[in-house]
């Protein structure tokens, strides 16, 4: 039977957290039980990250940066669909940014901020399951920088002449209200405004640029689903080079002027990015996005990050330097492994880093470096007593998701899998895996099952030794 409007109107939301009171429904009518969405996505490493009860389809993020105050003025609109009858729900939002207005479908909504990162939103009326809704938040301030002892610097990172947003794993919520877990991917639009002497950059395609009253606004579209940890915006003084790869992918690279990179090297960075994109497309299948590129920045974070479509490389300790071929191969390899196919849980991050490291090996071997077997042998020669062999590759622990076991043992595991199933099946897998889970999520269990299916070989012993056990496996 269908619910009558009268029965719906009879539902009264409880004001207290989690409480729902429904008035006596007419005989034969169903009462709708509106309940709060979960405050986390259920990831054991980051219990507060992400939320339950809805699924985001699009973020529209408008940021205006003021170099004098270092503050942003922002309007973010989150388009989502309820996956349960929602009385209230959380977004992740952290730090000192001050909200001046928050609406759900145009109506003022009540909200509280609790714990480190929960923005708890109670809409005027409950949201029925499957219903599409929009949250619009207007806010401003100087965003927080996260400096986690184990995970490093992320979130909003000030630079000499602006700032950059680098989110992995938990930084996104410092800049915009977000369902901050890789399992809730969405498309993105960015509208970035700054004084006209600054360059603004983001993921995706540059679709508009206009200057008015001394301010330049650019608009960027990331049309493929993206995990929040891979979203990127940058404000600052950059030199931009545009082109296309031989395979036809539009390619926009930018070099931070604070890095003092020569015009010739800025061009080389663009060309090498194009070459690696084409090389890896040959191995992993078509480039997953409508454009590519890269950004070099002096941000003091000491890492490069596979921000979707357009990675960021902080080479601040090496003035004048552009990324090496190996580094490009790593971050661009991630675009298939980690970005297009994202981990189901952060424990699965070896699926990102193992394949990105293996991408370095494959690229190096094809470009005059050591063979893949030599790269494996060099790592495998690490003594069994070394810390590298501590912990489990497929469950490294929250504080070890960026450790050597994930990268080097991950790549070694992939090489042993290749030997187990043979080159023919392995190179088929390199294309088939990113195709099978394109723009989605996959777990270690999914991967082991997929490898077994494609290799027609029992890989359970391989998985037990290389992924699920501590210690140095015998060959």
- Determine, following the binding rule CB under 5 A, whether residue 301 of this chain makes contact with Zn ion: no
| Strands, E assignment, 149-283 | 152-159, 162-166, 186-195, 199-202, 205-212, 215-226, 233-236, 238-244, 250-256
CA neighbor of 72 nearest in space, from 198, 186, 181, 180 = 198
State the minimum distance, in angstroms, from the CB of residue 398 to Zn ion: 17
Residue 193 Cβ, how far from Zn ion at the closest point, in Å? 31
Cβ proximity to Zn ion: between 259 and 349 the closer is 349
Which one, 401 or 451, has the nearer CB to Zn ion? 401
* Cβ proximity to Zn ion, 75 vs 153, nearer residue: 153
Q: How far is the CB of 322 from Zn ion (least distance, A)?
A: 18
- Nearer Cβ to Zn ion, position 224 or 352? 352
CB of 104 to Zn ion, least distance (A): 37
Nearest-CB residue for Zn ion: 356
Task: Give ∠ CA 445-447-451 in degrees, rounded to 5.
Answer: 120
Cα–Cα distance, 175 to 168 (Å, whole number): 13
Query: Are 281 and 247 spatial neighbours (Cβ–Cβ below 8 Å)?
Result: yes
Other residues' Cβ atoms within 10 Å of the Cβ of residue 302: 11
Sign of the C-alpha dihedral, residues 421, 427, 430, 432? negative
Query: Minimal distance in Å, beta carbon 330 to Zn ion?
Result: 6
Which 346-365 residues touch Zn ion, going by CB under 5 A? 353, 356
Q: In whole angstroms, how close is the CB of 303 to Zn ion at the nearest point?
A: 9
Residues contacting Zn ion: total by CB under 5 A: 2
DSSP tag of 178: B
β partners of residue 220: 190, 206
Pick from 103, 96, 41, 98: nearest CA to 78: 103
Q: Which is nearer to Zn ion, 353 or 446 (CB)?
A: 353
Judged by beta carbon, residue 118 or residue 306, the one nearer Zn ion is: 306
Per CB under 5 A, residues contacting Zn ion are 353, 356
């Amino acid at each position: 039977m269908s619910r009558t409007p009268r029965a719906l109107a009879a539902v009264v939301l409880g004001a207290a957290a989690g409480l729902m009171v429904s008035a006596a429904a007419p005989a034969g009518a169903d009462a709708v039980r509106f309940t709060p969405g979960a405050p986390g996505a259920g990831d054991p490493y980051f219990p507060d990250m992400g939320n339950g009860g809805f699924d985001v389809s699009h973020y529209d993020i408008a940021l205006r940066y003021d170099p004098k105050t270092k503050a942003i003025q922002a309007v973010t609109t989150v388009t989502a669909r309820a996956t349960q009858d929602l009385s209230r729900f959380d977004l992740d939002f952290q730090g000192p940014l001050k909200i001046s207005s928050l609406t759900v479908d145009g109506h003022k909504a009540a909200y509280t901020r609790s714990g480190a990162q929960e923005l708890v939103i109670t809409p005027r009326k409950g949201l029925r399951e499957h219903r599409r809704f929009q949250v619009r938040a207007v806010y401003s301030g100087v965003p927080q920088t996260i400096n986690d002892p184990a995970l490093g610097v992320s979130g909003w990172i000030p630079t000499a002449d602006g700032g950059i947003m680098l989110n992995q794993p938990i930084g996104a919520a410092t800049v915009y209200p977000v369902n901050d877990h890789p399992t809730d991917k969405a498309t993105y639009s960015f509208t970035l405004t700054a004084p006209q002497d600054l360059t603004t950059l983001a993921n995706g395609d540059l679709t508009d640029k206009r200057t008015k009253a001394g301010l330049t606004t650019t608009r960027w579209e990331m049309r493929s689903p993206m995990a929040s940890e891979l979203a990127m915006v940058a404000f600052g003084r950059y030199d931009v080079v545009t082109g296309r790869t031989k395979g036809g992918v539009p390619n926009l690279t930018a070099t931070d002027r604070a890095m003092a990179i020569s015009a010739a090297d800025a061009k080389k960075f663009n060309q090498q990015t194009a070459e690696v994109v084409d090389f890896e497309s040959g191995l992993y299948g078509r480039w997953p996005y409508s454009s590519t590129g890269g950004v070099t920045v002096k941000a003091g974070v000491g890492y490069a990050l596979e921000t979707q479509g357009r990675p960021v490389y902080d080479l601040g300790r090496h003035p004048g330097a552009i990324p090496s071929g190996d580094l490009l191969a790593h971050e661009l390899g991630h675009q298939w492994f980690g970005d297009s196919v994202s981990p189901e849980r952060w424990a699965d991050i070896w699926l990102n880093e193992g394949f990105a490291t293996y991408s370095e090996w494959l690229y190096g071997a094809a470009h005059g470096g050591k063979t893949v077997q030599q790269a494996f042998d060099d790592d495998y020669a690490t003594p069994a007593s070394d810390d590298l062999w501590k912990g489990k590759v497929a469950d490294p622990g929250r504080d070890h998701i960026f450790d050597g076991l994930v990268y080097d043992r991950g790549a070694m595991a992939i090489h042993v899998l290749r030997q187990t199933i043979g080159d023919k099946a392995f190179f088929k897998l390199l294309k088939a895996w990113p195709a099978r889970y394109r723009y989605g999520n996959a777990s270690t269990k999914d991967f082991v099952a997929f490898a077994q299916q494609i290799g027609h070989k029992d890989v359970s012993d391989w998985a037990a030794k290389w992924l699920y056990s501590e210690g140095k496996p015998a060959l």
